Amino acid sequence: MANARDSDPNLGYLTKKETEVKLPRPTRVKNKTPAPIQITAEQILREARERQEAEIRPPKQKITDATELGDYRLRKRKEFEDLIRRVRWNKSVWVKYAKWEESQKDYARARSVWERALEVDYRDHTLWLKYADFEMKNKFVNHARNVWDRATQLLPRVDQLWYKYIHMEEMLGNVAGARQIFERWMKWAPDQQGWLSYIKFELRYNEVERARSIFERFVDCHPKVSAWIRFAKFEMKNGEIARARNCYERAVDKLGDDEEAEELFVAFAEFEEKCKETERARCIYKYALDHIPKGRAEELYKKFVAFENQYGDREGIEDAIVGKRRFQYEDEVRKNPLNYDAWFDYIRLEESCGDKQRIEDVYERAIANIPPAQEKRYWQRYIYLWINYVLYEELDAQDVDRTRDVYNLCLKTIPHNKFSFAKIWLMAAQFEIRQLNIDRARRILGSAIGMAPKDKIFKKYIEIELQLGNIERCRKLYEKYLEWSPENCYAWSKFAELERSLAETERARALFELAIDQPALDMPELLWKAYIDFEISEAEYERTRALYERLLNRTKHLKVWISLCQLPKKLKKRRQIETEDGPAGGNSSDIAITCRYEEYIDYLFPEETQTTNLKILEAAYKWKKQKIASDDD
């Protein structure tokens, strides 16, 4: 026993040595060479299975008399009833119970079990199927009919119940009964497969007219492309070509705008192609391509191109290729409606075809895609759609009224309070001038000046009025121009130039004076130069010199000094003139000639001074040369 002082209360008064777990030493493998006989995992599993003991099964009980049979049945029924009380909701227990009763040939009890099971959950159609199968297997036909009738009344949307019921009646040879069941089913408007089963049923008994009437009800109940195509193929199979064509035509009338219309048109065209009606097929393809949205007509285009390659001429093949390109452009603009380059390519394609309606339709669709942001950089590409549109309407379509409407709509679309396009205003005005409608052109340009004034608009408006000889209008326009942009030196210069061309020198000078007195100018050097050139052209050299002096007060630029030096100098000169007086002393032969002097103003130009200086230099050079020659002599 361990000492008390070595024991630990936490360990139940045992020593640590006594509680220590001793692990066995790991065995060292001395011989690591493989064994001569190798054992696989498969061999181990096989040996384990061979050595497994046989399963213990209860002995088979042999029933020798009715008493034992009654005891056995009582015991089994008690087991099933106890199990049902525990798990009433478990349908497999009910099925096993009913099948056991069936195996005992007690059909009344089996039927009772099925009925009790249906009371638990009559919505489970598998119970009905197994119940009816039990009745049919044991040849209780009327009972089976009763089950099927109840099942189809309670669960009319379970197609399998109807199929099984109809199959039973048909196997019994009760065709009229099967037809009656089909009619009851069709009142519930089943899916397409139910209608097709009814049609196939009638066709099995060669009831073509009945099948046709069912098809009519079928396409009314399910107005889909696939239903109409089946109807048309049915008529085609029976050799009724006119009826088949009528089916396709009715389908086009009702489903021409449906999402699956492409499939309908392809089937219609292939039908006409089989009937050797190539022109009809071509018309169908073209009609379809015109009415189906391009995004849903990819397969249609492929079929059309293949058709034209097989039956068409060169023109037809080209039309098919154009249609294919049209489809590509439609796909591009559908993916990105703001891709204006794609719209331009699409418009060029349509213009090459020459169909006015198509061209206008594409233009209208293109201009409807207004840029989302009201910034000019986003509109610069878009506005050329309008420009091309108005040019097409005026030059190609030659529709004056529509051109005017397009111009007006374009001007309404542009947000002039944010930005504007002078090109559109000017094109609209020039269009009205070409139509000899000057007043309308003036209204357009006046609206442009009022809503979005620009240099180009003022210049063009003034140019138009000047060509018409309306000087007063030009003056008013220049005044508006300068009110809008008083710092514009070009406007001041052109206004003064207009007045000078009208010999209104004082007006021109006054305009120049107003211009140079403006507090801010965009190009003052050009304005001063124009003013100085004006005074020089009028030979007002003193005024010119005064202008230079005023300019030198503002700037000391070298070129100003040089220009001032090049001005002509004013010189006062005297010249002698002779005058003839009357005869002295009344003698007509004696005429007195007197001489007097008068003063006049002359100007010495810098070029003349330069020429005089050159002559002095030449004379000095000549004198020097003569002197050298005389010294040599």
Q: In which band, very low, low, confident or very high, does the pLDDT at 605 lie, cut at 50, 70 and 90?
A: low
Least confident of 146-155, 202-211, 228-237, 339-348: 339-348
Mean pLDDT of the 10-24 span? 63
Q: What percent of the chain has pLDDT over 90?
A: 26
Q: What percent of the chain has pLDDT over 70?
A: 83
Return d(Cα 446, Cα 461) in angstroms, integer. Answer: 9
Does residue 404 contact residue 429 with C-beta atoms inside 8 Å? no
Identify the DSSP state of 469.
Answer: T
Q: In which band, very low, low, confident or very high, does the pLDDT at 233 lie, cut at 50, 70 and 90?
A: very high
**Joined tokens for residue 550:** 């005023």
Give the Cα-Cα-Cα angle 114, 119, 122 (nearest 5 degrees): 90
* pLDDT tens column, 404-447: 999 999 999 888 888 888 888 999 999 999 989 889 989 998 99
Residue 68 confidence (pLDDT): 84
* pLDDT tens column, 73-126: 898 899 999 888 888 888 899 999 999 999 989 999 999 999 999 999 899 999
**Which of 439, 464, 388, 485 minimizes the C-alpha distance to 447?**
439
* pLDDT tens column, 156-169: 999 999 999 999 99
Residue 615 confidence (pLDDT): 61
> Virtual CA dihedral for 80, 84, 87, 90, nearest 10 degrees?
80
Return d(Cα 498, Cα 486) in angstroms, integer. Answer: 17
Return d(Cα 339, Cα 381) in angstroms, integer. Answer: 10
Close Cβ partners of 333 (under 8 Å, ≥ 6 residues apart): 339, 342, 343, 346, 365, 366
Return d(Cα 403, Cα 624) in angstroms, integer. Answer: 85
Residue 543 confidence (pLDDT): 78
Does residue 334 contact residue 295 with C-beta atoms inside 8 Å? yes
Asked if residue 597 has pLDDT above 80, the reply is no
With tokens 């066995």, the residue in question is 24
Q: Which residues face 572 on adjacent strands?
A: 601
**Which of 380, 391, 376 minimizes the C-alpha distance to 431?**
391
Q: Which residues face 580 on adjacent strands?
A: 593
**Joined tokens for residue 107:** 């059909």
* pLDDT tens column, 514-545: 888 888 888 887 877 887 788 777 777 777 77
Residue 2 confidence (pLDDT): 46
Return d(Cα 494, Cα 506) in angstroms, integer. Answer: 15
Give me the amino acid identity at 312.
Answer: G
Identify the DSSP state of 239.
Answer: T
Does residue 147 contact residue 120 with C-beta atoms inside 8 Å? no
Q: In which band, very low, low, confident or very high, does the pLDDT at 608 lie, cut at 50, 70 and 90?
A: low
Residue 292 confidence (pLDDT): 80
Residue 161 confidence (pLDDT): 94
Asked if residue 589 has pLDDT above 50, the reply is yes
The rounded radius of gyration (Å) of the Cα atoms in the chain is 57
Q: In which band, very low, low, confident or very high, does the pLDDT at 49 lie, cut at 50, 70 and 90?
A: confident
Q: Which phi and psi (to 5°) does residue 210 adopt?
A: -60, -45
- By CB atoms closer than 10 A (0-12, 13-18, 19+), residue 505 is middle
Q: Across the chain, what does the average pLDDT equal?
A: 83
Asked if residue 173 has pLDDT above 70, the reply is yes
Identify the DSSP state of 54.
Answer: P
Distances (CA, A) of 269 to 174, 290, 419, 435, 576: 42, 15, 53, 49, 113
pTM above 0.75, yes or no: no
Asked if residue 375 has pLDDT above 90, the reply is no
Q: Which residues face 569 on adjacent strands?
A: 604
Return d(Cα 255, Cα 228) in angstroms, integer. Answer: 10
Residue 627 confidence (pLDDT): 75
